[in-house]
Amino acid sequence: MPPYTRAEARDWAREKLVGAINCTIPSFTADLRGINEKAIRHDVALAQQHGFLGTLGVSEISITLPEYLDFLRIARDEAGSEFVLVHHGSWSNLEQNIEAVRGAEDAGADLVLLSYPPNFYPESEQDIYDYTKAVCDATNLAVILFPMYLWGFSPRIHPSDIPARLIRRLIDDCPNIAVIKAEGGFPSIQSVIECHRLFGDEVVISMPIEGELIPLSQVMPIQLSATSDHEYYGPTIPRVMRLLRDGKYDEAAEIYWQLHPARKIKSGLAGALHGGAFLNRQAWKFQGWLQGYNGGPLRQPTQRIHDAQMTALRKGLLDAGLNPSMDPFREFFIGRNPA
């Protein structure tokens, strides 16, 4: 059970969700027949060591629901009660997502990142409302509402993916919506500014894109950056968020420019890595491996990452002075904790 009631979810989020939340992609045994507990524990422990507030247990890979829930239980056991564990509500249909979120609540998750299935094709704002409310009503957990281009709602429903008037209805009718991960109309920054202006007094507004987080935090308060592949930069994003909270903007700006070579390479590869409106979790796992996370094999179907992309991502970190792993690339596909 979460450490709050549905009615307390927003107060809990305002108090607790201060910092950065990274992503943990499940690791598997070498034969890909089961999850790798040692590797999962390694990644969660390293995220804590790097200063992350919590982690998203990624589900958008080839994994069964029982395996995924075991993965969450392992992460919770390793992390302890203070580390925020986020359930990734990204399953194939509404029925499966309701089953998954109830299982995640039992497994010790604190928070839900609400996603929309690839087969979900809403033709009205009401369709999005009905799906979202059904998931929210099925759990006592606090929910992150996630306007995002990946869902394919734009421009059919609205250019902002989930328009402000619909967000207003959902906040009014779903008391456990406690966070907005404001990426609507990406790469525009209008969504995060609009959400802060309209809803920032009621729910926490998260900016997960570090290249926007650092500049925007100098002109508007952003207490949370969740969820994103911040592990690519090791402990840097939790550190820069502390500087921003303390008003040390000159130091934060120095880090912004330090990261710029790596940021440019990562964003420049986005089209090649994330084709088909789908995030390349293999690439995200490699990015973490460069900073000491486990890496390791993923099951089919999975997207691929090739030498040129791996070399570029590592060079970006080298140019930023972030000391990536120089181990041979073959070691990534084995993992740091093979089982």
One DSSP character per residue, 182-227 reads --TTTT-SHHHHHHHHHHTTTSEEE---HHHHHHHTTTS---EE-S
Which H helix or E strand runs over 131?
helix 125-137
Residue 301, preceding peptide bond in cis (omega within 30° of 0): yes
Nearest to 30 by CA among 307, 325, 285, 333: 333
Measured between alpha carbons, how far is 5 from 142 in angstroms, rounded to an integer? 9
| Strands (DSSP E) found in 220-274 | 224-225
The identity of residue 121, as a single letter, is: Y
* pLDDT at site 269: 86
**pLDDT value for 1:** 82
* Cβ(146)–Cβ(112) below 8 Å: no
**CB-based contact 315:288 (threshold 8 Å):** no
Q: What is the pLDDT of residue 228?
A: 96
Terminal C-alpha separation, the chain = 32
State the pTM of this model.
Answer: 0.97
DSSP state of 28: B
Predicted local distance difference test score (pLDDT) of residue 275: 61
Q: Is the bond preceding residue 3 a cis peptide, omega within 30 degrees?
A: no
Q: What is the pLDDT of residue 336?
A: 98
Dihedral, CA of residue 10, residue 13, residue 18 and residue 20, to nearest 10? -120
Domains and CATH numbers, the chain: 6-247 (3.20.20.70)
Residue 276 confidence (pLDDT): 59
Q: What is the Cα–Cα distance from 229 to 78, expressed in whole angstroms?
A: 20
Q: How many other CB atoms sit within 10 Å of the CB of residue 33?
A: 8
Per residue of the chain (339 residues), give pLDDT as tens: 899 999 999 999 999 999 999 999 999 999 999 999 999 999 999 999 999 999 999 999 999 999 999 999 999 999 999 999 999 999 999 999 999 999 999 999 999 999 999 999 999 999 999 999 999 999 999 999 999 999 999 999 999 999 999 999 999 999 999 999 999 999 899 999 999 999 999 999 999 999 999 999 999 999 999 999 999 999 999 999 999 999 999 999 999 999 999 999 999 887 767 665 678 999 999 999 999 999 999 999 999 999 999 999 999 999 999 999 999 999 999 999 999
CA dist., res. 87 & res. 57, Å (int)? 6
Task: Determine the pLDDT at residue 274.
Answer: 66
If DSSP codes are grouped into helix, strand and coil, which group holds residue 248? coil
What are 339's two structure tokens? 């089982």
**DSSP code, position 241:** H
